[in-house]
Amino acid sequence: MSSASSLVIETRNLSKKFKDVHAVENLSMKVRKGEIFGFLGPNGAGKTTTIKMIMALTHPSAGDVLVNGKRVSNDSVRIRKEIGYLPERVAFYDNLTPLQTLHFFCELKGADKSVAEPLIKDVGLKDAINRKVGTFSKGMIQLLGIAQAMIGKPSIYILDEPTIGLDARWVKVVRDKIKMLNEQGATILFSSHVLSEVQNLCDRVAIINRGRLIAEDTITNLSQYLNIMPRLEIYILDLGGKVPEGILSIEGVTGAEAKGGMLSVTCVSDARAKVLKAIEKKGMIIRDFRTIEPSLEEAFVKLISKED
């Protein structure tokens, strides 16, 4: 149970209605100090609307947002200064250099301009420091956005879809930067619909669908709650795409399917050795095997399908 002092961001029955559409409905979630918190959901689920309400960029129809225990509605300007924010669509002036861009944001945030050049180097844009931002790739723009968010050394970061539209190289750079900020003590909330990114980075996740919170927990706990078990992938010589007789009757096995030379068995941990032994008893040759732990994707799909 989280104490109030350990909560960095809290939403209480947060709602936002646009005419007849509930973009967010009675959303209550808690982000703890020092964690990387994933805010997950399909496109149009209400993630960006929620983030804008946390940032006081749009007003809720009902409910409250608290940042470090203080209501955003009471002191939104000061609270925003505690947060490094990367919006979903980052936009800078094309005719400015990264240095000029950060100088501009330093003025807006009341920060010393001397921090600009070290921040540009910190996100890996040193070689482009005098180039016009209009020549930047999407990945470079995202990194400049993260540098902008780092002005003032905030203790909280809110990053809206930080890896969207990036190729694998830039995704790794952005991911490493998120880890670095967290290791330096920052609390990070980031939204995404890229399941693998959330699984690689997050301590806990909240899953939202159609504006409503449907789960908030660790990935392990979600998998246990949904009864999603590990899978044993066994590569067998001459399997021929058929599940060996008797595998499904082993205690602890809940499912099995074969494809070519690979047998996939869903089972509890204690049943793995029994499965391997049963295959060898049949005179079949096991070339290799591995355990696939439950994924966030499985939990996500199961939760969304339950919701529908």
Does 4-218 carry CATH code 3.90.320.10? no
> What pLDDT is recorded for position 231?
87
For residues 213-239, give the mean pLDDT. Answer: 84
Helix (H, G, I), strand (E, B) or coil at 36: strand
If we measure between CA atoms, which residue out of 50, 304, 276, 303 comes closest to residue 158?
Answer: 50
- Mean pLDDT of the region 217-244: 84
d(CA 10, CA 54): 9
Q: What are the CA-CA distances from residue 305 to residues 10, 41, 191, 308 (Å)?
A: 27, 13, 20, 5
> What is the rounded (10 degree) CA torsion for 215, 12, 197, 122?
-160
Instruction: Please check the confidence at residue 12 and state whether its pLDDT lies above 60.
Output: yes
The answer, yes or no, to whether residue 171 has pLDDT greater than 70, is yes
Asked if 301 and 209 touch (Cβ cutoff 8 Å), the reply is no
DSSP bridge partners of 214:
none
Q: Is the pLDDT assigned to residue 238 strictly greater than 70?
A: yes
Give the C-alpha separation, 249 to 123, whole Å: 55
Q: Is pLDDT above 80 for 305?
A: no
Binning pLDDT at 50, 70 and 90, where does residue 1 land?
A: very low
User: Given a cut of 70, is residue 308 above it in pLDDT?
Assistant: no
- Going by pLDDT thresholds of 50, 70 and 90, the confidence category of residue 24 is very high
pLDDT digits 0-9 by tens, 175-209: 888 999 999 999 999 998 777 778 778 899 898 98
Check pLDDT > 80 for residue 110.
yes
Q: Return all residues near 238 (Cβ < 8 A) that are at least 6 apart.
A: 261, 284, 285
pLDDT for position 301: 75
The yes-or-no verdict on residue 300 having pLDDT over 90 is no
Residues of the chain with CATH 3.40.50.300: 4-218
Write out pLDDT tens, residues 274-291.
999 999 999 999 999 998
Q: Where in the chain is the domain with CATH 3.30.70?
A: 231-292
pTM metric for this prediction: 0.77
Decide: 149 and 84 in contact? Cβ < 8 Å. Answer: yes
Q: Containing H/E element for 213?
A: strand 212-217
**Taking all residues of the chain, what is their mean pLDDT, rounded to a whole number?**
88
pLDDT at 137 > cutoff 50: yes
CATH architecture of 231-292: 2-Layer Sandwich (3.30)
Exposure string (b/e) for 120-134, b if CB count within 10 Å is 16 or more?
bebbbbeebeeeebe
- Range 96-122 average pLDDT: 94
Reported as a pLDDT band with limits 50, 70 and 90, residue 88 is confident
**Tokens 């470090």 identify what position?**
68
Q: What does the pLDDT look like over 52-61, one tens digit per residue?
A: 999 999 999 9
